[in-house]
């Protein structure tokens, strides 16, 4: 599936592009712990740690919401009663987080 940006304005196209680049960068750093340690260390030295941490939290929130939106909804017959209970609790926690955090 191709996502076309022609119908969006220049500002929105730029925002989408930056968001995609940040997500790819975050995923790249996530699989390289040594790089993450270097970035955290450097950001603390120059005083940007809180800004980097806020950006990281926004990216994580976006990834979690994006993954949740693409998760298939299980039918009640496909999973055990305990799994149903966990799924319902997870849905409630996500809704609560949306209300509180965003």
Angle between helices 49-70 and 10-30 (to 10 degrees): 100
At residue 39, the pLDDT reads 83
Q: Flag whether the pTM goes above 0.75.
A: no
The tens-digit pLDDT sequence of the chain (102 residues) is 445 556 667 777 888 888 888 778 878 888 888 988 898 888 888 888 888 788 777 776 765 555 555 556 656 567 788 888 888 888 888 888 888 775
The span from the CA of 97 to the CA of 27, in Å, is 23
At residue 74, the pLDDT reads 58
Q: Are 89 and 49 in contact (CB under 8 A)?
A: no
At residue 48, the pLDDT reads 82
Let me know if 30 is exposed, middle or buried by CB neighbors in 10 A (0-12, 13-18, 19+): middle
């Amino acid at each position: 599936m191709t996502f076309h940006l022609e119908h969006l304005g220049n500002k929105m196209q730029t925002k989408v592009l930056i968001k995609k680049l940040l997500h790819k960068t975050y995923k790249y750093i996530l699989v390289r712990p040594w790089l993450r340690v270097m970035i955290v260390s450097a950001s603390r030295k120059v005083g940007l740690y809180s800004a980097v941490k806020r950006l990281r939290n926004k990216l994580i929130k976006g990834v979690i919401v994006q993954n949740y939106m693409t998760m298939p909804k299980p039918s009640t017959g496909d999973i055990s009663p305990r799994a149903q209970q966990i799924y319902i609790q997870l849905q409630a926690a996500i809704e609560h987080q949306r209300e509180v955090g965003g």
